[in-house]
């Protein structure tokens, strides 16, 4: 049985022994260990270590910081298989998918290696007589990241490489469902030469989140998770004077115009709908099929879904693993009956899927549900609008581009979306008219590269700043403008007038 602890001031810490949570192997449903749940005092210890470490790290030269980041990048790359195996064992996703999230996270580390360039300010000579102006960006101090279960490596890596490169000290509160990756990352930071206290991990639940949101020494909070908690984190954190970016849930639509290549569409819908068992905030969960292609497209999707290999994450043949917990599997599965009650047609029932090494998904130990396809889902029904966050692909039939666009824009969320078409003019119109933060044109999961910023609109983001890219650098720094004047001997003496430029 493993026991997952905190990482405070460069060492493992037991913390308060009174509170722990169970960890599971989602493929078998068995308890695999326990994770510590931090008390407020444990959070205080991590923040105190960060406060103590901050001044020296802030004053470390940009080249020194970049060198630590380069070493961290190499160590993470060398340990990527170990990291992916830890993720699979607790999250359930297949090994190749876990490797993929590490690779995408590493792109942010690579971006942050360019911090000497990213923190360059501006300089204007001679803004007034013998007066120069220049801008600089400085770190905030101690910043916190609170992250979800579905990307235990990548989502923290959206945050901490940039926060640390900017000169902050970072406290990570990962999901209590798959916490082990955070400790490997902490160890590798230490090996890379990051001073103790600059990166700490507190494992935990609401108690630790609340303490981070209230702690007077935490200057900023980055959050990624579900919409109700994102809203709560944003409101509570800002009420305590913090800068907050809180990314929430999603329900992403793929709008398919009749001129699209339907084989490409079917491949893309199945990949984006069922990769990581649909537990991705950028998963495609609704296909909007514009008449008259619906029947043909559904047939192509079903043909592909029937060939998906569902099995344990550590089996190289598996394409899709189990869901993260039993309660989550049950919640996702409940939408199969609800969908039918609401008028949809269940064309592939994931409860009947055969799991490698087991039997039917619904009868196999572990948190299994196979890929499910619901056709003719009524627009506006709960099956259509709720974030299900599992392997359930809904097909909503629409009569036109305009109707499809309206369905998307009427939605609560605005994280990602995609249009599939061969008509460049329609695609261009879509990117202009759709109220969503990240758009794919014939790309089903349009996750921006590290040097752009990731984030949605509407209830998918609370706060103004998206993560990573230049918005990430801005989030983790404050601007200053310096106006300097070096006098020559003819400065003219006292002048009580308001400073104007001449
Ligand atoms: P979650 O909201 O349950 O948990 C996220 C974090 O909040 C965890 O660290 C958790 O411990 C903490 N938390 C949970 N309940 C809390 C409470 N009552 N008070 C304070 N803190 C609390 O989300 P999850 O189930 O771990 O992750 C899945 C969700 O994350 C989905 O909604 C998904 O769309 C979303 N997500 C969004 C993005 C994005 O970029 N927008 C990316 C990944 C995941």
Shared domain for 84 and 134, answered yes or no, is yes
pLDDT (tens digit per residue) in 293-333: 999 999 999 999 999 999 999 999 999 999 999 999 999 99
Domain closes at, from 410, 441, 472: 441
Closest ligand 1 atom to residue 177 Cα is 26
Residue 294 Cβ inside 6 Å of ligand 1? The answer reads no
- Collapsed DSSP state (helix, strand, coil) of residue 381: coil
Tell whether the torsion through CA atoms of 191, 197, 201 and 202 is positive or negative. Answer: positive
438 Cβ inside 6 Å of ligand 1: no
- We report the CATH number of the domain holding residue 292 as 3.40.309.10
Q: 55 and 111 in one domain?
A: yes
Same domain, 142 and 270: no
Give the per-residue pLDDT at 499.
79
pLDDT in tens, 77-94: 999 999 999 999 999 999
**Based on the domain organization, do 289 and 237 belong to the same domain?**
no
| Percent above pLDDT 90 for the chain | 95
- Output the residue whose Cα is nearest ligand 1's atom 9: 175
Token representation of residue 422: 């061969």
Reported as a pLDDT band with limits 50, 70 and 90, residue 170 is very high
Q: Is there a domain that residue 453 lies in? A: no
Residue 175, ligand 1, Cβ within 6 A: yes
Cα(228) to ligand 1 centroid in Å equals 9
Q: How far is ligand 1, taken at its centre, from the CA of residue 479, in Å?
A: 30
Report which ligand 1 atom has the smallest distance to the Cα of 151.
43
- As a whole number of angstroms, the distance between CA 233 and CA 243 comes to 11
The reported pLDDT for the residue numbered 497 is 86
Does ligand 1 lie within 6 Å of residue 26's CB atom? no
Q: How long a stretch of residues is the chain?
A: 502
In the predicted model, is pLDDT for residue 460 greater than 80?
A: yes
Q: Which domain holds residue 147?
A: 2-248+460-483
Cβ(447)–Cβ(417) under 8 Å?
no
H or E segment and range at residue 430:
helix 424-433
In a domain, 203, yes or no: yes
Q: How confident is the model at residue 235 (pLDDT cuts 50, 70, 90)?
A: very high
488 lies in some domain: no
What integer best gives the mean pLDDT of the chain? 97
Q: What is the 122 CA–ligand 1 centroid distance (Å)?
A: 38
Domain-embedded: residue 499: no
Q: Establish if 101 belongs to a structural domain.
A: yes
Is residue 389 within 6 Å of ligand 1 at its C-beta? yes
- Residue 25, beta-bridge partner list: 30
Regarding whether 21 and 104 lie in a shared domain, the answer is: yes
**Residue 71 lies inside a defined structural domain of this protein:** yes
CA distance 141 to 157: 18
Residue 489 has pLDDT above 80, yes or no: no
Q: ∠ CA(236), CA(238), CA(239), 5° rounding?
A: 60
pLDDT at 491: 65
Tell me how far the alpha carbon of residue 225 lies from the centroid of ligand 1, in angstroms: 3
3-class SS at 369?
coil
What's the start-to-end Cα distance of the chain, in Å?
73
Confidence class for position 490, pLDDT limits 50, 70, 90: low
Could you tell me how many helices (H) and strands (E) the chain has, helices first?
A: 16, 23
149 and 180 share a domain?
A: yes
Condensed to tens digits (0 to 9), the pLDDT of residues 342-389 reads 999 999 999 999 999 999 999 999 999 999 999 999 999 999 999 999
Residue 123 has pLDDT above 70, yes or no: yes
Q: Is the CB of 463 under 6 A from ligand 1?
A: no
CA nearest 191: which of 103, 70, 108, 102?
70
What is the mean pLDDT of the segment spanning 334-347?
A: 98
Tell me, yes or no, whether 141 and 285 share the same domain.
no
Q: Percent of the chain, pLDDT > 70?
A: 99
Judge if 133 and 195 occupy the same domain.
yes
| Residues 149, 152, 158, 159, CA torsion sign | positive
Report the pLDDT averaged over residues 252-278. 98
The answer to whether position 186 is within a domain reads yes
pLDDT at 457: 98
Instruction: Answer whether 147 contacts ligand 1 (Cβ < 6 A).
Output: yes
pLDDT of the residue at 444: 96
- 292 and 349 belong to one structural domain: yes
Tokens (6 digits) for 39: 């008390």
CA of 468 to the centre of ligand 1 (A): 18
Residues 6+ apart with CB under 8 A from 84: 95, 98, 99, 102
Beta partners for 89? none
Count Cβ atoms within 10 A of the Cβ of residue 292 and give its class: 0-12 exposed, 13-18 middle, 19 or more buried: exposed
Give residue 252 CA to ligand 1 midpoint distance, Å: 17
pLDDT at 502 over 70: no
Whole-number Å distance between alpha carbons of 96 and 29: 21
Residue ID of nearest Cα to ligand 1 atom 21: 206
How many A from CA of 247 to the centre of ligand 1? 9
pLDDT tens digits, one per residue of 383-430: 999 999 999 999 999 999 999 999 999 999 999 999 999 999 999 999
Give the Cα separation of 332 and 364 in Å (integer).
Answer: 16
Q: Is 148 in the pocket of ligand 1 (CB under 6 A)?
A: yes
| Ligand 1 mean position, distance from CA 58 (Å) | 30
Q: Residue 492: inside a domain, yes or no?
A: no
Other beta carbons within 10 Å of 361: 25
| H or E segment to which residue 113 belongs | none
* DSSP result, 403-451: HHHHHHHTSSEESEEEEE-S-HHHHHHHHHH---SEEEES-SS-PPPTT
The pLDDT assigned to 488 comes to 76
DSSP state of 352: G
Q: What is the pLDDT of residue 329?
A: 98
Instruction: Report the chain's C-alpha Rg in angstroms.
Output: 25
The closest-lying atom of ligand 1 relative to the alpha carbon of residue 227 is 32
DSSP state for residue 351 in the 8-state scheme: G
Residue 114 is part of a domain; what is its CATH number?
Answer: 3.40.605.10
Whether 83 is in the pocket of ligand 1, judged by its Cβ within 6 Å, is: no
Residue to substitute in 36, 146, 148, 438 for testing ligand 1 pocket (most ligand atoms within 8 angstroms of CB): 148
Whether the pTM exceeds 0.95: the reply is yes
CA 215 to chain centre: 24
Q: How far apart are CA 498 and CA 249, in angstroms?
A: 51
CA-closest candidate to residue 152, choices 195, 199, 189, 203: 203
Q: State the average pLDDT over residues 431-439.
A: 98
Q: Does residue 77 sit in the same domain as residue 121?
A: yes
Give CA separation, 10 vs 109, 185, 315, in Å: 20, 12, 34
Ligand 1 atom nearest residue 389's Cα? 31
Q: Is 149 in the pocket of ligand 1 (CB under 6 A)?
A: yes
What total number of domains does the chain contain?
2
Tokens representing 230 are 């994102």
Which residue has the least CA distance to atom 36 on ligand 1? Answer: 225
179 and 97 in one domain? Answer: yes
Which of 43, 226, 411 most suits a substitution to test ligand 1, by most atoms within 8 Å of the C-beta? 226
Mean pLDDT of 16-44: 97
**244-264: b or e for each residue (b if 16 or more CB lie within 10 Å)?**
bbbbbbbbbbbbbbbebebee
According to DSSP, the β-strands at 199-201 and 169-173 are: parallel
CA–CA distances in Å: residue 321 to residues 130, 178, 185, 315, 431: 67, 15, 24, 9, 33
Domain identity same for 258 and 282: yes
For the Cβ of 456 lying below 6 angstroms from any atom of ligand 1, the answer is yes
Q: Enumerate the active-site residues.
A: 281
Q: State both tokens at 306.
A: 């029937």
Could you tell me if the CB of 107 is within 6 A of ligand 1? no
């Amino acid at each position: 049985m493993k026991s997952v602890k905190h990482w405070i001031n460069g060492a493992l810490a037991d913390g308060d022994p009174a509170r722990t949570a169970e960890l599971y192997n989602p493929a078998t449903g068995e308890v695999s260990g326990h994770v510590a749940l931090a008390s407020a005092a444990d959070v205080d210890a991590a923040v105190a270590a960060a406060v103590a470490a901050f001044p020296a790290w802030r004053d470390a030269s940009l080249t020194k910081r970049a060198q630590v980041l380069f070493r961290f990048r190499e160590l993470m790359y060398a340990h990527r298989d170990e990291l992916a195996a830890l993720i699979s064992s607790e999250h359930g996703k297949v090994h190749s998918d876990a490797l993929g999230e590490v690779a995408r996270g590493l792109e942010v580390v690579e971006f942050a290696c360019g911090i000497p360039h990213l923190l360059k300010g501006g300089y204007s000579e001679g803004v007034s007589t013998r007066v120069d102006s220049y801008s600089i960006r400085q770190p905030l101090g101690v910043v916190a990241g609170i992250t979800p279960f579905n990307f235990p490596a990548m989502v923290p890596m959206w945050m901490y490489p940039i926060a640390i490169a900017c000169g902050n000290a970072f406290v990570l509160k990962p999901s209590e469902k798959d916490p082990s990756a955070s400790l490997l990352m902490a160890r590798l930071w230490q090996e890379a030469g990051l001073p103790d206290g600059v990166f700490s991990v507190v494992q935990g639940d609401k108690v630790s989140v609340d303490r981070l949101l209230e702690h007077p020494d935490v200057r900023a909070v980055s959050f990624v998770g579900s919409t109700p908690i994102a809203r709560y984190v944003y409101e509570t954190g800002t009420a305590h004077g913090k800068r907050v970016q809180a990314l929430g849930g999603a329900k992403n639509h793929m709008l398919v115009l009749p001129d699209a290549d339907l084989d490409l569409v079917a491949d893309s819908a199945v990949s984006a709908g069922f990769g990581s068992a649909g537990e991705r905030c950028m998963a495609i969960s609704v296909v909007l099929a514009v008449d008259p292609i619906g029947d043909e497209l559904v047939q192509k999707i079903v043909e592909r879904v029937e060939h998906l290999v569902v099995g344990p994450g550590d089996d190289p043949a598996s394409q899709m693993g189990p869901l993260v917990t039993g309660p989550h599997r049950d919640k996702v599965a409940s939408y199969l009956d609800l969908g039918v009650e609401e008028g949809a047609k269940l064309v592939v029932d994931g409860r009947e899927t055969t799991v490698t090494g087991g039997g039917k998904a619904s009868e196999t130990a572990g948190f299994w549900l196979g890929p499910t396809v619901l056709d003719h889902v009524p627009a506006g029904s709960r099956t259509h609008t709720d974030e299900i966050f599992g392997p359930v692909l809904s097909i909503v039939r629409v009569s036109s581009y305009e109707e499809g666009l309206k369905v998307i824009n009427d939605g609560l969320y605005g994280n990602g979306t995609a249009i599939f078409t061969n008509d460049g003019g329609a695609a261009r119109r879509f990117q202009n008219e759709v109220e969503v933060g990240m758009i794919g044109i014939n790309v089903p999961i349009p996750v921006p590269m590290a040097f752009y910023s990731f984030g949605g609109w509407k209830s998918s983001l609370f706060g103004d700043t998206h993560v990573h890219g230049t918005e990430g650098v801005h989030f983790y720094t404050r601007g200053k403008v310096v106006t300097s004047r070096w006098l020559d001997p003819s400065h003219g003496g006292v002048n009580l007038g308001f400073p104007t430029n001449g």
